[in-house]
Each structure stands twice: as structure tokens, then as C-alpha cells.
Amino acid sequence: MDLNQSPPAIAQLIHRRLRELVGVTDPYRETKDWQNRIAMELIPKFRAEVKSAKNPLLMAARLAIAGNVIDMGSNGNLTESDVRQSLSQALTEPFFGEEDKFQQAITQAKSVLYLADNAGEIAFDQLLIEEIIEQISAKRVTLVVRGAPILIYLEGFIVFFLSL
């Protein structure tokens, strides 16, 4: 293994070798199921927060960002309490960035390419995608995921995206 490669490239090699050694195509399946269960339990509450927000698009963006706490790659000791705390803080934390430019870019877009990352957090991406679809005139959002399971698990979300 070439340790001069990027961390994602090394991780891909490690995960590939792990799958070969243990004969399991998705060694994180149980953890992903847990993450998705938590996320799906929280979605109704946070969907209501988005819909009642002064700016639903920015609120959905906050939650999609906060949902990134659900990442085994960077946070292997994640608890349900951590997830709930991160999402609750997202409701009140200042939004850093150029909100107006973000809003303008979304409303003027003909289409949006959305890169999904991890299990669990994809549920909060769903809230943002719903708001993006309401904002853009073309109503086209392309969701891209990895070709093989490493950290992402879409079962349960695929129905939503196919219905767009």
C-alpha cells in the first residue's frame, strides 16, 4: 500500500481488502441501519422546522450540514444524543457563508447535481433536496451516490428519490 496516496484512496483499498477477507459486501450494514433508523425518526420533527422557518431553504441547508455528524469515517463513537444535539444546534447556530448568493444560485439553476455521502445523513439531504426542488424552475435534481457500499446505504430513501 502506497502511504503517499490520499486518505480516501487508502480507505478504499482497506475497505476493499476487508470485504475480501471477511466475505461480507457491506461490513457496516448494522451501523448504517442504526443511523438510518435514528435519522428517519427525526425527519418528521425537522421537516416541520424547515416548513415553518422564515427561510426554508437555508434551514434545510443547516440541517443537511448538521447531518454530517452522522459519519462513521470521522466519528466512530457517535451516539444518538450526539446526532440530536448537532441537529438541534443547527436550528439556532449562525449560518456562515454567502446566504444570498446560495439562494440566488439555487433559484437560477436549471438543474442541481447533489453528491450524497453517508447513511443516516442522507435523510437530512432529502430535506434540502425537497426545498431545492421547490426553488428551481427546472425541477431537476440529480442525486449521485457511490457505486458500492462503503459508508452509504440508500434502502428506504430510494422511493423518495424515484418519485421526484
Q: HSE on the CB side for 97, CA within 13 Å?
A: 11
Cell of 62: 443547516
Q: C-alpha grid cell for residue 7?
A: 486518505
* pTM metric for this prediction: 0.73
CA-based nearest residue to 73, from 35, 41, 44: 35
Angle between helix 121-135 and helix 29-52 axes, rounded to 10 deg? 40
Q: Cβ–Cβ contacts within 10 Å for residue 43, how many?
A: 16
pLDDT at 17: 84
Beta bridge partners of 1: none
Residue 53: CB atoms within 10 Å: 16
pLDDT averaged over consecutive 10-residue blocks of the chain (164 residues)?
Answer: 81 81 79 83 92 93 83 67 82 83 88 80 89 80 70 43 43
